[in-house]
Amino acid sequence: MDYEIHEHDVIVIGAGGAGLRAAIEASSQGVSVGLICKSLLGKAHTVMAEGGMAAALSNTDSRDSWEVHFRDTMRGGKMMNNWKMVKLFAQEAPARVNELEEWGALFDRTPDGRILQRNFGGHRFPRLAHVGDRTGLEMIRTLQNHGIHQGIDVYMECTIVDLLKDGDRIAGAFGYWRESGKYVMFRAKSVVLATGGIGKCYRITSNSWEGTGDGHALALRAGASLIDMEFVQFHPTGMVWPPSVRGLLVTEGVRGEGGILKNNKGERFMFKYIPEMFAAETADSEEEGKRWLNGDKNARRPPELLTRDVVARSIRAEKLAGRGTPHGGAFLDIASQRPADYIQRKLPSMYHQFKQLGNLDITKVPMEVGPTCHYVMGGVQVDPETASSSVPGLFAAGEVAGGLHGGNRLGGNSLTDLLVFGRRAGLGAAQYAKSLATMPKAHPDQVRAVEHTANLPFEDTGKENPYQVFQDLQVCMEEHSGIVRTGKELEKGLEEIATLKNRSTRLKVEGNRMYNPGWHSALDLRNLLAVSEAITLSALHRKESRGGHTREDFQDSSKEFAKVNTRVWLKNGTLAWEHIPHQDMPPELKKLLD
Amino acid sequence: MTDVTFRIFRGEREIGDFKEYHVTLSEGMVVLDAIHHIQAHDAHDLAVRWNCKAGKCGSCSAEVNGKPRLMCMTRMDMLPLDQPITVEPMRRFPHIRDLVTDVSFNYGVNKRIPPLKPQPRRADGTHRMQQKDIDRIQEFHKCIECFLCQDVCHVMRDHKVTDFAGPRFLMRCASLAMHPLDTVNRLEQLKDEFKIGYCNITKCCTEVCPENIQITDNAIIPMKERVAGGFYDPLAWLLRLITGRKAGERRPSV
């Protein structure tokens, strides 16, 4: 074996918000840290986050507190959340935001010079610290520019193919350099997965090419469990026209700043779709919505700010009833609600995005929007305190971890999640690494097997085009595991995934390993297939509708399923599943939920 | 729909040639869509760097018909379609393969900029800043690091000056120097190490910026003025002699 080898106490896979925060924390514990980025540093999907980061700073509304944030997050997650994680999250969020400011982030300000907070779906009070509509960029750049001075070794454009183990323990990771295609081995005592999401399983998605579920699949193959994989968030407002930008995100900030949703009859339809659970805190007339917009604190929030699952389903229902827009979505109108200069100041990148890509001035006319695959609530099952998985030495944080968001994530909770649990994972991984006296070692056979898998697409036996199999998988997931599901469709989906898996063993890639996107797609496909199967299998066995999981054959939420999470794991190479009961919530937290 | 001919640079380490591909346009298509179409159908191994396809990550920089642009934000209907469209890598940076270049120079410069060193927080635990005082730095923070300004800047591109930091990083220094909380003196570095004096304000960087940041007017010129005021103003020199303060040193906050 003649590989390039790097050795660290901790390696972090993924350099978005969670990965960077984990690396910074681990490094501050005095251990050696390697940070592996699939792309260039600073380009991860975190840059796409727009609206803001939720934290009960209570700057904009003094009635806010961690308790209300806890309540909103649990209710938004339809009580599927791991309450221990939610508690830590809500309590630690303000400190993480302040820390980011200390490192150079410049949030928009209140008139008295503090951090300004904006309204967002499912949050009772204005809670999102933000920078116009480019909060993610501010966050990743701040972490990046802080992180490069913390003694972390950064490996850019490096993709991990598989994790390595020494017995039960993590021993490192094996991957390739994008540029040269050469293989590289990382020896490490602990590994933090911070690889983000899975959006590329679907055809219409807000995710970049990187969202191929790498960490979810790496964890499965290394023996860890995934939970809540049936809960996939379809963001209600993606662009629907022109085709080349279909799925591209339109920030919830548009609705947070007062934007309203209308059908092709000009009707503001969200008033028809207010779930009972949220009726008491949602405006029931356009008149009350108007008062809320004008800052009346006694007015309740307009129904456009209901949770994402509710709004996405409503837009879909309007379209199916024949009340959709010309390109099959809904109208999102801020032009009639706010003056042009306000829109340009608070939503500059949305203005820019529509002007440049859609030939449309959002300060004058409504946008056309529809649901787009945005986020997976499910992920690696972790310990709330340390972010450790069931595999010793393997940690996970951010979108790749499960538990915090339950059945549906609130907008603005993701960016804070990255910081709170990125930090905890970095700390957990560093402490674990310190507890090991010697560096674990993977057996050479294991490394050779990974290399063999990676080389397969170049062998002459295959003839399948990886791009084609990739596209077929996306269509399969859209049709069978999409925004509304049935048992029959899900079963069909599992069959098709099995066929696609088979085809994926016969891929054919041209050229050599040097910067070869065809080959990269072939390897990403392996992860996408694993994740798609996990989603579909989990969805099949949750026979109810809840949050980001809607079943046409079981339209209501059920008491029986209210008490369990779905866990999937690999058992002798086959995906197994079970329902695991929730842990009892202490009475002082239960009290907060009403 | 219209058929368009693309001439795309294919090759490794500067050695290569333009190859022709044909693409049928669909509505709203951008250059990056065409590249992806070619990749999926005609050239599976065509190397291109991209991420968000929304003008937010700054990965897909290239030269389209000779102009530095983000491919994901360049609509096909903005280009003259009756002649072939050329797409080539950024010429300022070492070539790797096809449309991909080695931009590590930029990461190297960035690392040499000392991080923000903020004043202590107030007794109530907050930092207070007025929106109007951070408006202009927030403009600089819009930078997506596409490095198109670094690509086009003639100081580096034509005169091959390698010890010039380039517009992106002069602007980053400005964003720190103008940060209301920062306590670091950045003028010496701007003058001696980053050679801000080389910039002769031709504004090419501002012209190519996909975020429309006024790099020259709002960042570089004010910093040039501070450097000139700090180091070359005889009155300021005299004042420094008397007070013992260094050029660009901030007065203790009151």
A509 shares contact with chain B (CB less than 8 Å):
yes
pLDDT greater than 50 at residue A283: yes
| Average pLDDT taken over every residue of chain A | 95
Q: B129: which chain A residues are within 8 Å (Cβ-Cβ)?
A: 106, 109, 113
> Which helix or strand (DSSP H or E) is residue B235 part of?
helix B234-243
A 10 A CB-CB count for B225 gives 11
Q: Are A315 and A370 in contact (CB under 8 A)?
A: yes
More confident residue, A307 or B93: B93
B176 shares contact with chain A (CB less than 8 Å):
yes
Q: A131: which chain B residues are within 8 Å (Cβ-Cβ)?
A: 138, 141
- The arithmetic mean of pLDDT across residues B17-31, rounded, is 94
Distance of CA B175 to the CA centre of its chain: 13
Structure tokens at A89: 């999250």
Cβ-nearest to B52 among A148, A149, A208: A208
pLDDT tens-digit readout, B186-212: 999 999 999 999 999 999 999 999 999
Dihedral of CA A241/A246/A252/A253: which sign? negative
More confident residue, A144 or A356: A144
pLDDT of residue A377: 97
pLDDT of residue B254: 41
pLDDT greater than 90 at residue B87: yes
More confident residue, A502 or B159: A502
Rounded CA gap, A42 and B147, in Å? Answer: 13
Q: Are A142 and A100 in contact (CB under 8 A)?
A: yes
Domains of chain B: 3-101 (3.10.20.30), 104-243 (1.10.1060.10)
Q: How far is B70 from chain A (nearest CA, A)?
A: 12
pLDDT greater than 60 at residue A202: yes
Rounded CA gap, B170 and B219, in Å? Answer: 7
pLDDT of residue A203: 93
Distance of CA A370 to the CA centre of its chain: 18
pLDDT greater than 90 at residue B243: no
- The arithmetic mean of pLDDT across residues A410-429, rounded, is 97
In chain A, the percentage of residues whose pLDDT exceeds 70 is: 100
Residue of B nearest to A468 (CA): B40
Q: Pick from A183, A466, A497: which is nearest to B41 by CA? A: A466
Range 187-206 of B in CB contact (< 8 A) with A:
none
pLDDT greater than 60 at residue A354: yes
Q: B137: which chain A residues are within 8 Å (Cβ-Cβ)?
A: 106
Rg, chain A, Cα only: 23
In chain B, the percentage of residues whose pLDDT exceeds 70 is: 98
Max CA pair span of chain A: 72
Cβ-nearest to B57 among A47, A104, A248: A47
Distance of CA A338 to the CA centre of its chain: 30
Q: How far is A87 from chain B (nearest CA, A)?
A: 22
pLDDT tens-digit readout, B206-237: 999 999 999 999 999 999 999 988 888 777 77
Contact criterion met (CB < 8 Å) for B134 and A114: no
B54 shares contact with chain A (CB less than 8 Å):
yes
Q: How far is A74 from chain B (nearest CA, A)?
A: 29
Q: How far is B176 from chain A (nearest CA, A)?
A: 8
pLDDT greater than 70 at residue A1: no
pLDDT tens-digit readout, A78-127: 999 999 999 999 999 999 999 999 999 999 999 999 999 999 889 999 99
pLDDT greater than 50 at residue A322: yes
> Three-state SS string across B141-163, please?
HCCCCCCHHHHHCHHHHCCCCCC
Q: Pick from A75, A126, A128, A54: which is nearest to A589 by CA? A: A75
Q: B113: which chain A residues are within 8 Å (Cβ-Cβ)?
A: 145
Cβ-nearest to B130 among A44, A113, A141: A113
- The arithmetic mean of pLDDT across residues A201-227, rounded, is 96
Domains of chain A: 4-231+377-435 (3.50.50.60), 235-371 (3.90.700.10), 450-567 (1.20.58.100)
Q: Which of A235, A338, A542, A567 is catalytic?
A: A235
Among A238-247, B17-26, B33-42, the minimum mean pLDDT is found in: A238-247
> Confidence band (pLDDT; 50, 70, 90) for A241?
confident
Q: A360: which chain B residues are within 8 Å (Cβ-Cβ)?
A: none
pTM above 0.90, yes or no: yes
B139 shares contact with chain A (CB less than 8 Å):
no
Structure tokens at A148: 């490069």
| Average pLDDT taken over every residue of chain B | 92
Looking only at the bridges linking them, the beta strands covering A574-581 and A226-227 are unpaired
Q: Are A49 and A135 in contact (CB under 8 A)?
A: yes
> Confidence band (pLDDT; 50, 70, 90) for B250?
low
pLDDT of residue B157: 87
Read off the amino acid at residue A571: K
Q: Pick from A494, A502, A482, A505: which is nearest to A552 by CA? A: A482
Looking only at the bridges linking them, the beta strands covering A153-155 and A33-36 are parallel
Q: A251: which chain B residues are within 8 Å (Cβ-Cβ)?
A: none
A235 flagged as catalytic? yes
Q: How far is A253 from chain B (nearest CA, A)?
A: 17
A 10 A CB-CB count for A504 gives 21
pLDDT of residue A511: 85
A517 shares contact with chain B (CB less than 8 Å):
yes
Beta strands in A16-57 (DSSP E): 33-36, 53-54
Residue of B nearest to A49 (CA): B56
Contact criterion met (CB < 8 Å) for B54 and A353: yes
A328 shares contact with chain B (CB less than 8 Å):
no
pLDDT greater than 60 at residue B80: yes
Contact criterion met (CB < 8 Å) for B54 and A510: no
pLDDT of residue A393: 98
Structure tokens at B175: 């964003």
Looking only at the bridges linking them, the beta strands covering A394-396 and B61-64 are unpaired
